[in-house]
Amino acid sequence: MTPLSSSSSSSSLPFPIPIHPHSSSSSSSSPPSSSSFIYYFPVFSNVRTQIQCSASTTDVCTQSPKIDTSLLTIAESFYEDELWAAASLRVRSFNRFHPDTFGLQDHRKYLAEREFEALKERVSGKRLGFRRVSCINASLPMSHILSLSLSDDFCSLCKFSDGGEDRVVVGTLDLNQCLSLPDEISGTKPELNEPDITRAYLSNVCVAEELHRNGLGYALLEKSKLVAYDWGITDLYVHVAVDNEPAKKLYTKSGFVYESDEPAWQARFLDRPRRLLLWKGLAIS
């Protein structure tokens, strides 16, 4: 499944986002902080378990229901139930399952548990090789999702509770501060003799298939750039399959440019489509 699609036009999002244009040659004025990129301010329940941080082609819905963007929240996640919802959305987005597959529910649960445990390890700062990792989610109230007549499967798999309100994760990605990601080609910026790691990668970028063409992917990318800026990141990277045209268009729209591509032998060895490495410079004052 192609996890992302760009908007059908190059027009701006149907809702306001504080965007600061970053490039290697842009001015040094500071952008708004990442905390300003939240559409409302949730009250987190004490019942939820908080994780403390240490330092291709596919079927794309052509008539996606339009969301009420005033209800949308895009924010970093530190709570287990929301991380579980994000892990479930990733399994749902990156895998194609035949509905009659024997043991389908058990297999989905196994994959979600594996991603959930790995995500917790990364976010909590326990994964070697990662300086810092943030899971950034887009979510909508369950009541709004139900009003759009989306599948019960989607609602049940990707829901979490926030301050007594049931919500659904509709988009997710990871922001990884590190020199490289496992089994991926590495960026070249900045030079490795820098005193600190100011390179980061986006990974696991996906939006619920039913809600493509609502600008959710673009909004997630803009939020991730603000968080990266707050971390002191100067160079942001993302990998994309060479045949994933919707995702390539989305990243280009968000300011990413081509840097390099994966050797054909590596793609064959890993049994996957060859990947491109895209780069975005973030101006740090």
Residue 58 lies in a domain: no
pLDDT of 3 above 70: no
CATH number at residue 43: 3.40.630.30
Residue 221 lies in a domain: yes
pTM for the structure as a whole: 0.77
The Cα–Cα gap between 201 and 180 comes to 8
Condensed to tens digits (0 to 9), the pLDDT of residues 40-56 reads 333 333 344 444 444 44
Enclosing domain of residue 176: 34-51+66-281
- Beta-carbon-side half-sphere exposure of residue 223 (alpha carbons within 13 Å): 29
Give Cβ neighbours of residue 187 (< 8 Å, ≥ 6 apart).
Answer: 180, 199, 201, 235, 237, 259, 277, 279
Q: Residue type for 263, please?
A: P
Residue pair 7/215 in contact (Cβ under 8 Å)? The answer is yes
Query: Is residue 259 classed as helix, strand or coil in its secondary structure?
Result: strand
**79 φ, ψ (degrees, to nearest 5):** -110, 140
Query: Is residue 16 classed as helix, strand or coil in its secondary structure?
Result: coil
Residue 79 lies in a domain: yes
Mean pLDDT over 246-266 rounds to 96
Q: What is the pLDDT of residue 284?
A: 66
Residue 25 lies in a domain: no
Residue 9 lies in a domain: no
CA nearest to 61, candidates 209, 163, 246, 196: 209
Q: What is the pLDDT of residue 281?
A: 96
* Given the residues 201, 229, 237, 251, the one annotated as active site: 251
Mean pLDDT over 4-23 rounds to 36
The Cα–Cα gap between 125 and 78 comes to 12
Give Cβ neighbours of residue 260 (< 8 Å, ≥ 6 apart).
Answer: 185, 188, 276, 277
- Beta-carbon-side half-sphere exposure of residue 17 (alpha carbons within 13 Å): 26
Residue pair 217/4 in contact (Cβ under 8 Å)? The answer is yes
Residue 189 lies in a domain: yes
The Cα–Cα gap between 234 and 232 comes to 6
Q: What is the pLDDT of residue 150?
A: 86
Residue 87 lies in a domain: yes
Condensed to tens digits (0 to 9), the pLDDT of residues 150-168 reads 887 888 899 999 989 999 9
Q: What is the pLDDT of residue 20?
A: 35
Residue 203 lies in a domain: yes
Q: What is the pLDDT of residue 285?
A: 57
In total, the chain counts a number of residues equal to 285
Q: Is 201 noted as a catalytic residue in this protein?
A: no
CA nearest to 167, candidates 80, 87, 72: 72
Counted domains in the chain: 1
Q: What is the pLDDT of residue 102?
A: 79
